[in-house]
Amino acid sequence: MSSVERRNRAPIDPITVEVIGSALASITEEMGEALVRASHSTNIKERRDCSTALFDPSGATLCQAEHIPMHLGSFIDMLPHILKQHPAEGIRPGDVFVGNDAYQGGGTHLPDIVLAEPVFVDDVIVAWAVNTAHHADFADRGHAHIFQEGLRIPPIRLYRAGELQQDVQALILLNCQVPRERLSDLRAQMAANRLGVLRLQALCAKYGREVVLDAGEALQDYAERKMRAGIEKIPDGTYRFSDVYESPEIEGELPLCCEITVAGDTMHLHFQAPPQVRAGLNMTRTALLATVYYAVKCLVDPTVLPNAGLARPLVVTAAEGSVVSCRFPAAVNGRCSTCQRVVDLIFGALAQAVPDRVIAATNGANTSITFSGSTPDGAPWIYLETVGGGSGARAGKDGLDGVQVHMTNTSNLPAEALETEYPLKLLRYELVDGSGGVGTFRGGMALRRVYRAESACRVRIDSSRLRSSPWGLAGGMEGARAVIESGDMPYARGILQMQAGEVLSVLTAGAGGYGPPERRDPEAVARDVAEGRLSPAAARDAYPQAVLDG
């Protein structure tokens, strides 16, 4: 049955739509838990650097689990690429497609490997089960262009009618530095999708295939209606905001600008950015779209369902070949930090229209640290972690301390797991006093992590807000900047070589405050001092209205 014929049928009742929508959300969440529990690498089993989703037969998003917003960018163009190269009539039950390429596969960077499997009911594709996992591999490479960043995989069959394509798997593993981890994680991804297939087939058996398909379309239409209703509540007008983006990978700063035009129930977001750079900071078009969808959803209506319908009222434009919408063969490995700055742009622009909904600038980065080296027997090891920082203050509440923000949502790797599996020692892990911007409501605090190498290793650091500060709102002050302290170790363009016993300290940025500092509750100031967030001297300077002991 075509979508036109489906729309001409009697509408499905809203209670059934709600029940099926909840079931779809439950399926994606269960897929995610299965992936985490079955995986081998610390990056997935501990840090949960993965996401799961369901798509309708045409490749539109039905539901994405509450994992990492950035990963939507790895999903939304994967299915169109598959269906373009592999007509639906030639796809069979048990076919599983794998891909990661940013230009020929719909991905956003090469470590995020996507697996997609069709869900058949009565010999008809009713949906796709999809997941991505960040494979912490491809280390110690350059980032001048995409060819340096790892193995590029266009959407190809990893399984054909349920049978593993051994030659395809062997080709992938041959190009990985830690193939045993990759194999185990790929198997976990496969298991997660199989679970999604079985659960969705059971849902269709319970309600009927056409009812589930109708509900999928109704859910997308509902998301569109809610998004349009939310946009209509924002005053019509054009709002602009500019910021800069800097990184250890490049000299100087990249000026970025966002112009948002609200007209009735539609929103046009236009981005201005320099030409793409010879570094891994560039964003693909799909990365830009995923970032916009996240940011606008947050401010317009966080309850909008995470499906393709929310994108319909939005128009997104940017010059092709720019940092925020790059073209082949730009490098894209560190695109997530640039995406964080794009969120800052959108929030800064819409703060002019709906200031009570917007938080001040967060730490504004996806600070990632990749250690790589060799074991005594010569086997390579790779450890990736991302470090949180401050989250911006809000109208009515302080910012959160030491958290991941916006486009990333990975968990912390416990020190015990780090030191057990890798030749690294964590010497300090703490919140940074005074790093949150002062204001009526205080910005969130930054994090400090100090590492000691137990054997020689190479380190790559992707960070930002090293020279610019997270801005405050409504009179709130800036948060503290990020700092990388490498001692006497040579450090250039985010790369350093550590020898056994050498120490690296990474401080992320804090976050901006909200509202004039003189309006902060004196009791809150006293509590900040008592908890060690501010020194008494700093508190007296920032908040003269407070009366402090000592």
Which contacts qualify for 344-348: CB closer than 8 Å, 24 or more apart? 344/243, 344/471, 345/241, 345/242, 345/243, 345/256, 345/257, 345/258, 345/271, 346/241, 346/258, 346/260, 346/269, 346/291, 346/292, 346/295, 346/296, 346/299, 347/295, 347/299, 348/241, 348/243, 348/258, 348/471
Q: What type of residue sits at position 175?
A: N
Higher pLDDT, 106 or 367: 367
Whether 129 shows a pLDDT value over 80: the answer reads: yes
Whether 548 shows a pLDDT value over 90: the answer reads: no
Across all residues in the chain, what is the average pLDDT? 93
Q: pLDDT band at 87, cuts 50/70/90?
A: confident
Whether 4 shows a pLDDT value over 60: the answer reads: no
For residue range 110-125, list pLDDT tens digits in order.
999 999 999 999 999 9
For residue range 465-501, list pLDDT tens digits in order.
999 999 999 999 999 999 999 988 888 888 999 999 9
Which pTM value belongs to this model? 0.94
Q: pLDDT band at 544, cuts 50/70/90?
A: confident
Domain ranges of the chain: 3-225, 359-519
CA 221 → CA 35, 62, 214, distances in Å? 30, 11, 11
Whether 355 shows a pLDDT value over 80: the answer reads: yes
The reported pLDDT for the residue numbered 151 is 93
The reported pLDDT for the residue numbered 9 is 66
For residue range 29-52, list pLDDT tens digits in order.
999 999 999 999 988 998 898 999
8 A C-beta contact, residue 388 and residue 379: no
Return the number of other C-beta atoms located less than 10 Å from residue 96's C-beta.
22
For residue range 199-223, list pLDDT tens digits in order.
999 999 999 999 999 999 999 999 9
Residue 311 CA from chain centroid, whole number = 17
8 A C-beta contact, residue 12 and residue 101: no
> Exposed (0-12), middle (13-18) or buried (19+): which is 538, by Cβ within 10 Å?
middle
